[in-house]
Amino acid sequence: MNENEHHDTPHVGLEDRPTPGANRRGFLRNSLASSLGFVSAGMVGGLGMVANRAEAMGVIQIPPLVRRTQQALTQRVQRAIANLTATVPAQARNQDEALPGFYASYSKGLPHTALGEVEPAAFQAFLKALQSGKNEDYNLVPMGGTAKQISPQASTAYQMEGQHSANLRLNPPPAFNSEQRGAEMAEVYWMSLLRDVPFSQYGTDAVAAQAIADLRRFTGFAQVNAQTLFRGITAGEKLGPYVSQFLWQTIPYGMTSITQKYQAGTAGREFMTSPAECLSIQRGIAPSQTLTLDGNPHYMRNGRDLAEYVHKDFSYQAFLNAALILLGYGGSAIDDNNPAKGYTNRAGFVTFGGPDVLSSVAQAAVLGLKAAWYQKWQEHRTLRPEVFALRVHNTKTNAKTYPVEPKLLNSPVLNEVFTRHGSYCLPMAFAEGSPTHPSFPAGHAAIAGACTTVLKAFFKESFVVPNAVVASDDGTTLNPLTGSTLTVGGELDKLAANIAIGRNIAGVHYWSDGIDGLLLGEKVALAYLADLRTTYTETFAGFSLTKFDGTTVTI
């Protein structure tokens, strides 16, 4: 297969897309919704009306259980129709997969050439499996080593709550040759060089100053400064220390408590800095090195700490912990819309209490992952930063030229990386590099966006975090924080950013993976909360919260 043959390969996605002047999906969706509406009205509503009239005439008496079952069915059908008929534009893509040889697409774990480009036949088999969804096609996808693809069939999984994953939309990731992608790669390179610098020293560290000056050359990072370096997009996370209080404060855990001291990787130890190791791992071969923890549990204070936290955490760990901390603050931290706050003779528990909060956080997490997996596998298949860096290395060493943004190729960060490691490969915090699934959007970020949104719905965002602290630069102590008033809403947004951006600091994601992942998770949670809202029988004004863009919404 020559390089140009790939231009004739259509982008594989789960669903057909509308052509200009025609909206086939919209027509099918509305037709199906009308049919479901007819069935709902005719079978559920219609039969219910007949039964109600018969009961009023004394002909029959509807048992309470039957009536409740009828109401439950009606409710489920109505929510399903509401989700189905939501306006959904076509998902835009960046067209990287149309580039010759698939060099700009995710392919980790498949057979690769000596330059680190995927074998075309292997990628075609991979696309065929994603398109068909058949087990037999997945079984035929060749492997380049022993690393398995992580849950690609989850990209077509269904869920019984919230919006269907395929009906949620994101902006497309930056194109391979765009300035934005170049800026994001420059940021990830700088992050790797600053992993061992305490967050509190970004205003005085010489390398951090170089990073700020360099990133300002890129349009998307023109306003970065020492206080906003490697931070996200919300107002709250720009206040106070870099690390959220929910990653520092003690976690009440049943009859015990958990002090948030963690081990991290050994300072200065980076991985995948040679092209040979990078290529081997891209093929799915086990790493030749092993990450060794420092053996010294401490409070989180730098990028390496945060990177290792998001390396070993379970899916919604940080947000379960945050929920437990928030519940420990007592009733004053509960959102004022919670009807249980006004009760004089009863309390919230199964609904509007701890179990409701904790189960919702867990449910939001898995829904966020499903939405991210649809986008990853069915829509974008974005290559990871470690592979982009291999393209940079080959371009800089004249092994092969790729259309990399010139501002990145001329960035001082590449010279600094080469001086330290002898190549232009991205120094990774993990020996194995990224996981074997596409980069955009980040699964951690989707979980973070979904879980944070749920927590903001249940708790009072304006509540001032009690006993705020800041870690010492060596991570041995927590000291009282002075000069800043931190709120629950701001620290939850900061927690979401910490989890999302922590993966960038590790080298496994880009800026857009994290930010758009957060926004996707938020959409997931809002749809979930809309369904959850209808299950309550209490008089309830609705969930009110502040979105990541600063606007408020009531569900």
Question: Does 525 fall in a domain?
Answer: yes
Q: Indicate the number of domains in the chain.
A: 1
pLDDT at site 303: 99
Residue 265 pLDDT exceeds 60? yes
pLDDT at site 447: 99
Mean pLDDT of 171-197: 98
Query: In which band, very low, low, confident or very high, does the pLDDT at 74 lie, cut at 50, 70 and 90?
Result: confident
pLDDT at site 476: 98
Residue 14 pLDDT exceeds 80? no
CB contact at 8 A, 383 and 105 = yes
Residues 245 and 243: their CA atoms lie apart, in Å, by: 7
Question: Does 105 fall in a domain?
Answer: no
Helices 488-506 and 303-312: angle between axes, nearest 10 degrees:
90
Q: Which residues contact 543 (CB under 8 A, 6 or more apart)?
A: 335, 337, 457, 458, 529, 533, 554, 555
pLDDT at site 5: 39
Among the listed residues 439, 530, 448, the one whose alpha carbon sits nearest the alpha carbon of residue 150: 439
Provide the CA 101 distance to its chain's centre, in angstroms.
Answer: 28
Residue 15 pLDDT exceeds 60? no
φ, ψ (nearest 5 deg) of residue 480: -55, 135
Residues 223 and 232: their CA atoms lie apart, in Å, by: 12
Residues 96 and 397: their CA atoms lie apart, in Å, by: 23
Q: Give the pair of three-digit tokens for residue 83.
A: 């989700």
With pLDDT > 70 as the criterion, what percentage of the chain qualifies? 89
Residue 184 pLDDT exceeds 60? yes
Question: Does 52 fall in a domain?
Answer: no
Residues 398 and 346: their CA atoms lie apart, in Å, by: 73
Question: Does 45 fall in a domain?
Answer: no
Rounded to two decimals, what is the model's pTM? 0.90
With pLDDT > 90 as the criterion, what percentage of the chain qualifies? 83
User: What is the tens place of the pLDDT at every residue in 314-327?
Assistant: 999 999 999 999 99
Question: Does 549 fall in a domain?
Answer: yes
Query: In which band, very low, low, confident or very high, does the pLDDT at 49 lie, cut at 50, 70 and 90?
Result: low
Residue 287 pLDDT exceeds 70? yes
Question: Does 282 fall in a domain?
Answer: yes
CATH number for the domain that contains residue 388: 1.10.606.10
Provide the CA 507 distance to its chain's centre, in angstroms.
Answer: 15
- In sequence order, what are the beta bridge partners of 383? none
Return mean pLDDT, the chain.
Answer: 91
Residue 146 pLDDT exceeds 80? yes
Question: Does 1 fall in a domain?
Answer: no
Q: Give the pair of three-digit tokens for residue 245.
A: 């209080």
Residue 28 pLDDT exceeds 50? no
Tell me the residue range of the domain where 338 lies.
Answer: 161-554
List the single range of 41-50, 89-98, 453-462, 481-490 with lowest mean pLDDT.
Answer: 41-50
Q: Which residues contact 31 (CB under 8 A, 6 or more apart)?
A: none
Question: Does 170 fall in a domain?
Answer: yes
